[in-house]
Amino acid sequence: MAQIKPQVKFAVKHRLVESSNRSFDNHLMAHPLGIIIKDRLKSLKKTQGWLAEQANVSDTAVSKWIATGKISRESAKDVSQILGISLDVLLGVSEDALAQSQPSLSLVYVDAEELRLITAYRESTAIGKALISAAAEGAPRSESLDIIPTRHKS
């Protein structure tokens, strides 16, 4: 059973637009640029004020970018660099680049003994941490995975 769209006309800036040509999905969504900026600020745990300060613009300018999705080319270039994403991602041209801009994470697995030592270190006082660190620096090293650079005293 086919749905029939009503042919209602909407006035938009003194123009009439057929309802069949109007996208309600876009109307319900916020501007993609604003969503991208807000999401990236959230993932960086930063505020609009921080972005304004970094971009040397007012807080109002950042609010307008997010609300309207309108931004100058120069500001877009600066914002993409500040947020650590490509200009294509910021402008919504490419979604794949967003995944590529995220740092890759590698997992390091620990055994039960290593986990016990890590937990003991985290739960210890400042003096306890200093003692554990001193013991770790003086301990002989094996040919195992050395993921943390150590300070060698000369």
Tokens, residue 152: 């060698």
User: Does residue 33 sit in the same domain as residue 73?
Assistant: yes
Tell whether the model's pLDDT for residue 26 goes beyond 50. Answer: no
Tokens, residue 62: 């950042």
* Interatomic CA distance for residues 35 and 121, integer angstroms: 41
Tell whether the model's pLDDT for residue 25 goes beyond 50. Answer: no
Predicted local confidence at residue 7, as pLDDT: 58
- Could you give the dihedral angle defined by the CA atoms of residues 34, 39, 44 and 45, in that order, rounded to the nearest 10 degrees? 90
DSSP 96-120: HHHHHHSPP-------HHHHHHHHH
Residues 103-119: tens digit of each pLDDT: 556 677 888 888 898 89
User: Does residue 97 sit in the same domain as residue 65?
Assistant: yes
User: What is the percentage of the chain residues whose pLDDT exceeds 90?
Assistant: 21
Residues 3-18: tens digit of each pLDDT: 665 555 554 444 444 4
* Interatomic CA distance for residues 88 and 104, integer angstroms: 20
**Residues with Cβ < 8 Å from 129, sequence gap 6 or more?**
121
- Full residue range of the structural domain in which residue 119 is found: 107-139
Final residue of a structural domain among 101, 120, 147 = 101
Predicted local confidence at residue 3, as pLDDT: 62
User: Does residue 91 sit in the same domain as residue 41?
Assistant: yes
User: What is the percentage of the chain residues whose pLDDT exceeds 70?
Assistant: 65
Q: Which letter does DSSP use for residue 91 in this model?
A: T
Mean pLDDT of the residues in the chain: 75
Q: How confident is the model at residue 88 (pLDDT cuts 50, 70, 90)?
A: confident
- Identify whether 115 is part of a domain: yes
Domains contained in the chain, number: 2
Predicted local confidence at residue 47, as pLDDT: 92
Tokens, residue 34: 């604003």
Strand pairing class (15-18; 9-12): antiparallel
Does 19 or 116 have the greater pLDDT score?
116
Nearest to residue 71, comparing CAs of 34, 46, 42?
Answer: 34
Which segments within the chain are labelled E, that is strand?
9-12, 15-18
